[in-house]
Amino acid sequence: MDYSNDFFLAQKLKSGDVKAYDYLMVSYYQKLCSYANTLINDPDIAEDIVQNVMVKMWLSRKAINFNFSIKSYLYKSVYNEFIDQHRKKAEVIYLEKKYLEAIELVVENENLDLDKLMKVLNNEINNLPKKCQKVFLLNKKDGLTHNEIAELLNISVKTIEGHITRAFKILNEKLGSQIKPFLFLLFGFPCTLKGFKNFSKFEV
């Protein structure tokens, strides 16, 4: 049986075929856990999210649409489950729609290996010039504002902006124009989201 065919797999899932569900688990479970972990930065909670998604899919299997992309559905479901678990947290309201849409495009890419991509991105950040790297991580990873970084390092805000712009330019040259959603996947939610909200200031 060709469970790799979405239409056939959807039919079998809808009919209650346990082997189809097993195929789904083998094919997507670990990948979904990896994706969920990029959002939550906690492997245990990430696995709980994926388990909830898989259980809900099985329980609601009779409502499956034969024409949908199962992979797309699963990734969207994981993201929605993540948002549902964090809807009451104030920082979620600061997430910018255009970045969420970009992330969705990233995870739907059939040829994308998220684990490999995150390792490559992290390696490229580690290869940035030292001062540039320090400023960039304080902003994007730790969520400090430009003024906070300038005060911490005793340098001007203009210098801070120069370092961040340079970092984006270098990473863009190495990894392409989708660097901002990749950074979001790498760092997840900083403690304050200040760094994430500053992303929109730098169009690369």
Residue 17 sits at the vertex; the CA angle it makes with 75 and 68, to the nearest 5 degrees, is 35
CATH number at residue 123: 1.10.10.10
Same domain, 68 and 134: no
Range of the domain at 182: 114-201
DSSP string for residues in 61-115: GGG--TTS-HHHHHHHHHHHHHHHHHTTSGGGGG--HHHHHHHHHHHT-TT--HH
Q: How many domains does the chain have?
A: 2
Same domain, 126 and 77: no
Question: Is residue 157 assigned to a domain?
Answer: yes
Q: Which residue among 52, 73, 88 closes a domain?
A: 88
CA dist., res. 39 & res. 47, Å (int): 12
Rounded percentage of the chain residues whose pLDDT exceeds 70: 71
pLDDT tens digits for range 82-139: 877 765 554 444 454 545 555 565 556 655 666 677 778 888 889 999 999 999 988 8
Q: Say whether pLDDT at 60 is over 70.
A: yes
- Region 47-73 average pLDDT: 85
Question: Is residue 179 assigned to a domain?
Answer: yes
Question: Is residue 148 assigned to a domain?
Answer: yes
Q: Say whether pLDDT at 41 is over 50.
A: yes
pLDDT tens digits for range 11-21: 888 888 899 88
The pLDDT value given to residue 66: 64
- Long-range CB contacts (< 8 A, 24+ apart) of 104-111? 104/75, 104/76, 104/79, 105/178, 105/181, 106/178, 106/181, 106/182, 106/185, 107/35, 107/75, 107/79, 108/69, 108/71, 108/72, 108/75, 110/71
